[in-house]
Structure 1
Amino acid sequence: MDARLWHQQATAPSIALPPPVPVEVFDETPDAAQDAYWEVLSSGLATVVLPSALARRAATRLTRLVERNTLRPPGAKAIGSVSAPFAVGKSTFVKDWAQAAYRDLLGPACADPRPTWNPEPGVTADWIPHVYITLRAASRIRDVLAALLLTMGYPSEGLVRVTTTRVVHAFRQHGVRLLLIDDAHFLDVSNKDSRDMLDFLKYLNTELGELGGTMILIGADLHDSPIYLDPQINSRLERVTLRPYGFGTEEEKRDWQRFLKDAETVLLPYFDCAPAGVFARDLAGYIWRRTQGYVGDTALLLTEALLAAFDDGSETITTDHLDSVPLSARAAAGEVDLRTAAPKASKRRAKVGAS
């Protein structure tokens, strides 16, 4: 993603939800007005981001990391890492967090289609405080350098030592303060090249640290990567792990129900005939079985089930509405596994039979 696209995404107005209309009022509204409202509501719900305590905690940690690095003396700084299983939504989470920080940093300059700044007196350059790159499979040092240069609008050809110097100069010239490397599990850390790649990451972190900046690595299951095993990187690494909501322990169930209760505050004003607690109390276990606690699947399930109940004139949201929503292949397979799992044998019955 180049800097202009990042700026456009970060500053584009989001699709807003319409003001809630009580169901009784909606039923008395002319058909044309109902259709118009339905279109706006459907579009808004398709883009809604449900509040999540787990995401808020992770965002708070990343924000504190960036703030601390800004205050520390120049030089190598703490490195952030965001690791999660596939499909948890780590990239979406990081982009939402970083683009909100980007808007706060730019302030009035958000309205400028191409923000500029003055790195030194008499010099004007594009202002690119955030650089976000996504790696491809088996990325080597030259691939990372090419992605960085192209993102900032520079040619990517040249020897590694030349393009490395060009990247460091571009960081200074454009005021880069946050470097996000997504799909970091694709970094080539094979036996032959791992030492060079790890040393390269440390070098980038040091050069960025001279500017008061922060590097954050985002990837799937990074705890299995040699990146976490390098003693120098590990000593500076602040790990943020995202996970789906669990439903095994009492604490996990409370967190899950709290998430669903927060979802109700966003969604139920648009279906006010459904009772409070329909998600968090009545259907909490059923919703978890369908989604296994993955926030993206859960947002899709709840919004589509709400629209289905709204559309067919139901008084509440039921398991039939939940079952009518197709989810990801991952969620479907997980649900099959949960439904077919053999129940655990009763210890009580075993004891009774043995007596």
Structure 2
Amino acid sequence: MDSNLQDGDKAKGAVAVDAFPGLGKTTAVLAFAREFHRREIAEFGAFTAQGHERWPVCRVGLTGNTGMKDLNRAMLEFFGHPGRQNSTAAQLGLQALDCVVSCEVRLLVLDDLHFLKWRKTSGIEVSNHLKWIANEFPVTLLKVGVGLVDKGLFSEGEAGGDTVVAQTGRRTTRLDMPPFTIDTDQGRRHWRQLLLAVEQRIVLADTHPGMLADELSDYLFARSTGHIGSLMTLVNRGCQRAQRTGTERLTRDLLDRVRNDEAAEQARRELEHALQAGRATSRPRTARAAG
């Protein structure tokens, strides 16, 4: 973000967060955007020198049939612009640029970018439009999606395809978000730190330190296969059941009665056998030694 502070005629780099579903891409990006928004407001104030409201971040969610005009209109919807309904695609783009400049937006988040069909006509049009935004808008593009490499965002598409899309790959830095693993002690420490952090957010009458990280570490890893989305789904539903039944704590018996998402349920058996047989563990050496 800070390295993209340069003149408007310079090509600015973009970032793409590309990972499988359920790994917390959007959650992480929105957390970053929130902190960046707060930092900018704290440093520069809630209003610009011209008296406009300062909006350091603009977030747009794409749909399955987003075109160039739809993208421009979605940006104007964010700002509540009155001309978003009755303008041409070019007019919408210029109006969006005016809003971005007036509100001093510095970060433009495009979520669910995988919905675009990059090798289709609309996908090429939007790709060209994103490069225009990168050139003309004083913002850093932060793109979020699933399988963006396979979708063709960073490549030229099929053999002999368009070099238009390939230029996007030259301007975009790809960041991935792998699932938690327990193959190494470092991975096991990361998993434990996650469980300790989740414990602090649980509000149950009989909760206690180590309820997740010590007593349920292997079980939760098997049930979630290291995906934070599956883990939080299981914990949230478990807390609801614990409240309704009066248990007021999370236990294996209680969580056994909670169904998780289908992908996690299908992948849990092999992990459970390995953990129960002692061929694998989710607890780091220091935790095992303390136990």
TM bin, normalised by shorter chain, reads: 0.7 to 0.9
Q: Which residue of 2 aligns with 1:201?
A: 130
1:59-116 Cα deviation digits (max 9, x unpaired)? xxxxxxx12212x444221101112212223222211221122122223998xxxx54
Deviations 1:219-271 (A, max 9, x none): 11222222212332222212221232123455433432332244445559964
Q: Which residue in 2 is equivalent to 1:148?
A: 75
Question: If you compute each CA radius of gyration, which structure gives the higher value, 1 or 2?
Answer: 1
Q: 1:76: which partner in 2?
A: 11
How far apart are residue 278 of structure 1 and its match?
Answer: 4.8
Mapped contact 1:116–1:127 kept (Cα < 8 A): yes
In structure 2, the partner of 1:166 is 95
What is the TM-score when the length of structure 1 is the normalising length?
0.63
Q: Point out where structure 2 has 5 or more consecutive residues left out of the alignment.
A: 156-164, 275-291
| Structure 2 counterpart of 1:225, one-letter code | K
Same amino acid, percent of matched pairs = 23
Instruction: Please name the residue that 1:260 is paired with.
Output: 195
1:218 maps to amino acid? V
Partner SS for 2:153: helix
RMSD: 3.4
Contact map agreement 1:139 1:188 (CA 8 A) in 2: no
The answer on 1:118 being equivalent to 2:49 is yes
| Contact persistence 1:188–1:197 (CA under 8 A) | no
Secondary structure (helix, strand or coil) at the match of 1:279 reads coil
Q: How much does 1:336 deviate? A: 5.2
Q: Report the CA distance between 1:288 and its aligned residue.
A: 0.7
Paired position in structure 2 for 1:333? 266
> Is 1:94 matched with 2:29?
yes
Distance 1:168 1:301 in 2: 43
Please state whether the residue corresponding to 2:52 is helix, strand or coil: strand
CA contact (8 A) 1:80 1:240 kept: yes
Q: Which residue of 1 aligns with 2:168?
A: 233
Q: Is the 8 A contact 1:77 1:236 kept in 2?
A: yes
8 Å contact from structure 2 (residues 67, 125) kept in 1:
no
| Contact 2:22 2:228 survives alignment (8 Å) | no
Match of 1:223 in 2: 149
In structure 2, the partner of 1:130 is: 57
Q: Give the Å deviation of 1:148.
A: 1.1
What is the alpha-carbon distance in structure 1 between the residues aligned to residue 44 and residue 12 of structure 2? 28
Tell me the SS of whatever aligns to 2:58: strand
Counterpart Cα distance in 1 of 2:254 and 2:88? 58
* Cα distance change on mapping 1:289 and 1:168 into 2, 3 Å: same
Of residues 182-191 and 328-337 in structure 1, the stretch that sits farther from structure 2 once superposed is 328-337
Counterpart position of 1:11: none
Give the Cα–Cα distance (whole angstroms) in 2 for the partners of residues 164 and 313 of structure 1: 55
Task: Identify unmatched segments of 5+ residues in structure 1.
Answer: 1-65, 342-355
Task: Name the structure 1 match of 2:108.
Answer: 179
Report the TM-score when normalising by structure 2.
0.75
